[in-house]
Amino acid sequence: MYFLQSISEFEIKTSPLNVAGFVAVFILLAALIIYMNSSERIKKNAVFRGKGVDFKLKERVRFDANFYSQVKYLGFTKRETSVLEKILTINGEAPSVVFHDAGKVDEYFRQSYNKIVRDNDPDNIQQELLELFSIKNAVEYFHAFKKPQTEKAVVRGFRRKVLDAPCVVYKVIVKSPDGKSKGKKTLSVQNDAAYPGKIINVSQGGCSVSMIQNIKTGILIKIDFKIGREPVIALGEILRANKEGANWVYHIKFLKLSKKSLITLNAFVFDYR
């Protein structure tokens, strides 16, 4: 009762201008509360957190059984298949048709890459880019070496690109605790055994290096080089070597790289830089 009475007095004693101001403040507060709630929902969305790319299709694409029969030989996981399907249907086309059009595949992957980089925080896109490059590598390898549909799966390979850049190779020694064969082993980089060389070509999976020094195959190495201004550091293993004139060419398999180095490598190989 006292509350109703106070409102009546307020309406009688307050000028219309003050009443309008009160109403405006009330509306602004309500709008602020709605905005905060919607912001929280957006932040909880998987796309906002960098977990997946949401592509708006021009029109809804119906279930394409041919697409799933085509890609099952690549050995993709369900998530990888789903990501590939979204990429191929950016323009609302049937994924089974786009899958065999190399030009469209390249263009749609490039659009996907640009979208990931543009719409997400740099710290949250590394896993997405690695997934994107992994799928692109598999699709390209499948197109280059198509197998009969009787085969179980296509072995994945990596696109390779020429890179004429200096590098430094260091030997890595595997050490066991207390000289025992069992237990956790540690790796020790022999910084005093640095061999200068030149990167011939590179891929996500490894590289070829030309050097004067003759090094045994099968050993672990650390290799440092740059792509443009971006440093790349990798732990690798020398798989094989062959003599070319006065130099040795070593084929190195990467065993461990940082996510940043992997993204730098793939962006260079696919010309996404």
152 located within any domain? no
Rounded distance between C-alpha atoms, residue 131 and residue 128, angstroms: 5
The single-letter DSSP state of residue 21 is H
139 and 93 in a common domain: yes
129 and 92 in a common domain: yes
97 located within any domain? yes
Rounded distance between C-alpha atoms, residue 220 and residue 80, angstroms: 32
125 and 185 in a common domain: no
56 located within any domain? no
88 and 15 in a common domain: no
169 and 223 in a common domain: yes
Q: Which residues of the chain have pLDDT under 50?
A: 1-14, 42-52, 57, 148-156
E strand or H helix at 52, and its extent?
none
247 and 165 in a common domain: yes
Give the model confidence (pLDDT) of 21-55 as tens digits: 656 666 766 666 666 665 555 444 444 344 445 55
Last residue of a domain, one of 79, 111, 144: 144
Whether the CB-CB separation of 53 and 83 falls below 8 Å is answered with yes
197 located within any domain? yes
pLDDT of residue 109: 92
58 located within any domain? no
Domain of 87 in residue numbering reads as: 65-144
Give the model confidence (pLDDT) of 111-123 as tens digits: 998 888 887 776 6
Rounded distance between C-alpha atoms, residue 140 and residue 46, angstroms: 28
Rounded distance between C-alpha atoms, residue 155 and residue 67, angstroms: 19
Task: Give the count of domains, the chain.
Answer: 3
138 and 223 in a common domain: no
191 and 253 in a common domain: yes
pLDDT of residue 4: 35
Spatial CB neighbours of 20, under 8 Å, sequence gap ≥ 6: none
Report the predicted TM-score, pTM, of the whole model to 2 decimal places: 0.58
Last residue of a domain, one of 83, 113, 144: 144
Query: Domain containing 250 — which CATH number?
Result: 2.40.10.220
263 and 165 in a common domain: yes
116 located within any domain? yes
217 located within any domain? yes
168 and 137 in a common domain: no
- The candidate with the shortest Cα–Cα distance to 89, out of 111, 74, 116, is 111
pLDDT of residue 273: 64
